[in-house]
Amino acid sequence: MTGEPMTATTTPTAQALMARRRATLGPHSPTFYDEPLHLVSGEGVWLRGADGVDYLDAYNNVPHVGHCNPVVVRAIADQAARLNIHTRYVHEGVVDYAEALLATFAPHLDRVFLTSSGSEANELALRIARQHTGSTGVLVSDFGYHGTTTSLAELTTGLTVQEPLGSHVRALRVPDLATDPRAEEVVLAEALDEARAAVASLVESGHGVSALLFDPLFSTEGLPRVPSGYVKAVVGLVRSAGGLVIADEVQSGFGRTGLRMWGHELFDITPELVTLGKPMGNGHPLGAVVTTGELLEEFGSANLYFNTFAGSPVSAAAGTAVLREMTDRELRTSALKVGDRARVLLEELAADHPCVQAVKGTGLFFGLEFTDPGGKPDAGLTRRVVEDMRRRGVLISRVGRHDNVLKIRPPLVFEHDHLTLLAERLTASLGALEAA
């Protein structure tokens, strides 16, 4: 695949297919773009549309080691042909995988519950925290998202759900030095006042504090640059109230932040629970809760937890292949280098384009935050950039409370040449949209 820019058009096939899709999955199953993109194949960082266009994938984090990675595909195919079974029987592959996965964590995080998705992982982590603490209160970040279930909908503010925020939930506004003009210590002090009040309110309400649940990158929130010490201080407040710390690494894990394996290593903290999902099996459904021996013992001895699909030999083979590819291709180092270079290129773009308020992100998860000439968040421009980039053969998206942050989060095999292509087209896109 080449990545030559072409004008994408929705083919008659795509329209007919969308009609069939609406008649089965319904009209609300979300799709990207004004005219949804019909895909037929993928390879590495490239996705081929039914329109014949090869799109540079600068968006998808699930195909972590590349679309259709041959090592992962072979591992899945070979194991699926040999044996796929649940964990009530014993299989070597799942134990090998558990050992390899746990070796990437700090020593105290030495046990794993495998699940079928990040939603199942966050559900389980909350069950463990509630049972351990005897409390129900949960602290989350405002405009966050952690999964599709009822308990998770009750703490979701980052997308539309009908469930009201639970009376046991407090959502903290995450401070962002990238867009807040005030001094860091002022921003930090205000944010910690809010956190202190939230913890006090949970305690006073009788819910108490079972857990802080947070994505170390605050992805859905728009990749804020949080004041130094903020996360550690909130963790301290939660611990003082008896709560546990759950790092939701569904988006920030597996080297996404560059060099470090886990996003929570950005901060000087030690979570008791870490939840995993999306990139874990390169698209094969796989999630996990990594925790301590003590918490596993407490929960496991008091509850029968069995997850039919989780920990099958095929999912273990997929997970193992992802870890192996990450090591063999030094993808954590690559994410650091390409990510750092990305921020340099984005800063250059920002200098040339006053619509760019800030460069956001860490490692291989980055974006630009746009404002209008009056300094207000510019969701319209952000949307136009995303649509225009698609026409230029590059897939990105948008995120954040005001929907005004580009979401650029490619597979970890995204290299310097791909970044150069992305930057060229983003430059052209911003130039064209400014001229329009």
281/259 Cα distance (integer angstroms): 20
Tell me how far, at minimum, the Cβ of 201 lies from its own copies, in Å: 22
CB closer to its own copies out of 278 and 392:
278
Q: Do 362 and 223 meet the contact criterion of CB atoms below 8 Å apart?
A: yes
Q: Do 284 and 84 meet the contact criterion of CB atoms below 8 Å apart?
A: no
CB closer to its own copies out of 213 and 266:
213
Tell me how far, at minimum, the Cβ of 401 lies from its own copies, in Å: 15
State CA 273 to chain mean position distance. 17
Q: At what angle do helices 230-240 and 184-204 cross, to 10 degrees?
A: 20
CB closer to its own copies out of 168 and 360:
168
Closest to 263 in 3D by CA, of 250, 251, 253: 253
**What are the residue ranges of helices labelled H in 353-396?**
379-391
DSSP 65-76: T-BT-HHHHHHH
Host H or E run for residue 434: helix 416-435
Tell me how far, at minimum, the Cβ of 250 lies from its own copies, in Å: 9
Tell me how far, at minimum, the Cβ of 300 lies from its own copies, in Å: 3
Torsion of CA 409, 412, 417, 419, to 10 degrees: 20
Tell me how far, at minimum, the Cβ of 159 lies from its own copies, in Å: 4
Q: What angle do CA 120, 274, 90 make, to 5 degrees?
A: 65
CB closer to its own copies out of 36 and 229:
36
3-state secondary structure 231-243: HHHHHHHHHHCCC
131/125 Cα distance (integer angstroms): 10
Tell me how far, at minimum, the Cβ of 231 lies from its own copies, in Å: 25
Tell me how far, at minimum, the Cβ of 217 lies from its own copies, in Å: 16
CB closer to its own copies out of 31 and 420:
31
214/181 Cα distance (integer angstroms): 25
| Beta strands in 165-324, from DSSP E residues, in sequence order | 169-172, 211-214, 244-248, 273-276, 287-291
CB closer to its own copies out of 307 and 371:
307
CB closer to its own copies out of 4 and 88:
88
Residue 85 has which token pair? Answer: 């079974």
Strand order in the sheet with 394-395: 46-49, 54-57, 394-395
Tell me how far, at minimum, the Cβ of 47 lies from its own copies, in Å: 7
CB closer to its own copies out of 322 and 430:
322
Pairing of strands 273-276, 54-57: unpaired
Tell me how far, at minimum, the Cβ of 3 lies from its own copies, in Å: 17
CB closer to its own copies out of 171 and 314:
314
